[in-house]
Every structure is written in structure tokens, then in C-alpha cells.
Amino acid sequence: MTDIHLRSRSNHEKECGFGNYLVKYHNVHKKISVEVEPLHPTYQRHLAEVPFSGFSLNQWVGFKQITRTITSNNTVKVEAYLNLSETLQTCNKMTEFTFDGKNTDIVIVKYEQKRLACVDKGDKTANDINKGCLWLESGQWCWIRINESNQTKVKWFSVREIDPL
């Protein structure tokens, strides 16, 4: 298994929709990072990236992402948690990143035509892609993406809407 993504607030399948906030657990490079996809397939990657020991085959692993709007200053905080213990009782916070709409510059040369086609459409994140990295609302989907795995078993998966801070 190469990596696992936990993705939140996704309107990824909606035309010109906000892609998602995500936490990426990259097992090969042994790093955890927060990322944002304001408009599919444009990303700002490797935000708040930290090293971790990785996980091995035939091991239960706990992953957790919290995406929360902080209403006092209109920001979105994304937190990444990991549990490699035998009991799976406690998730340890590994990293976090707070999006303020200005702190992620995205170079969109390859997908500029798509961005232009989405101006004033969908979620309108294409209007100004660098300020569009802030999505305060719920999305239609939260999902897990597991790359390069043919026998991954998911034991529990839950999504809960929690109140903003």
C-alpha cells in the first residue's frame, strides 16, 4: 500500500466543484501532509508535512482527519491523527494546517483552460484559485482513497458533522 488519503468537504464529482481538503499518509516516503484541491485536479500539496514511521502489512492502523471551520476568523483547520498501537484506543495528532484563503499559492499552468471554463460556475472556486483555497461549507462527500492496494480491509469508517469552533 503506497498511501491513504482522507478527504473531506468534497464536491469533487460536481462540475466545477471544490475538490476537497485532504490528509495524505504516504507510506513509501514516510510522510504525512495536509493538502487542498480547490478545483479538480489542481492541488496545493505538502502543507504541514511531517515524517512518520510508516505502517506495515497485516497491521491494523487508525487514521483520523478533522476538518473544522473556525468562525471567529473565517478559517478552516485540518488536523491529521494516526494510531499504530495494538489497542487502537488513542489517535495521536501528527500535524495540522489552518487555511485562511491566502496562505496557499497554487500554480495552475497545466489546468488553466479548465479553470477558465469554470469561472463563475459550480462552487466558484475557479474565480481566483489562490483565494479559493478556503471552503467553509460542507461538501457532498467525504471519502477514503487507498492507492496501490489490492487487499485492504476497512474495519470502521464514519463521518460526523461537528459544530464550528
- Using alpha carbons, select from 18, 44, 45 the residue that is nearest to residue 29: 45
Place of cell 489490492: 150
Q: Evaluate whether residue 75 is within a structural domain.
A: yes
Any domain includes 37: yes
The reply to whether the predicted model has a pTM over 0.75 is yes
Cα separation values, 124 from 27, 39, 45, 78, 109, Å: 34, 9, 21, 21, 18
Say if 160 falls within a structural domain. no
Is residue 69 domain-resident?
Answer: yes
Q: What share of the chain is helix, strand, coil (3-state, %, to 5)?
A: 5, 40, 55
Is 165 inside a domain boundary?
no
- Report whether 7 contacts 145 (CB < 8 A): yes
Q: Range of 106's domain?
A: 3-147
Cis amide leading into 41 (omega within 30): yes
Domains held by the chain: number = 1
Q: What is residue 17's predicted lDDT score, i.e. its pLDDT?
A: 93
Tell me if 153 is assigned to some domain: no
Q: Give pLDDT tens digits along the chain (165 positions).
A: 579 999 999 998 899 999 999 999 998 899 999 999 999 888 999 999 999 988 877 788 889 999 999 988 889 999 999 988 777 678 899 999 999 988 887 877 888 999 999 999 999 989 888 777 788 888 899 989 988 887 787 777 777 777 776
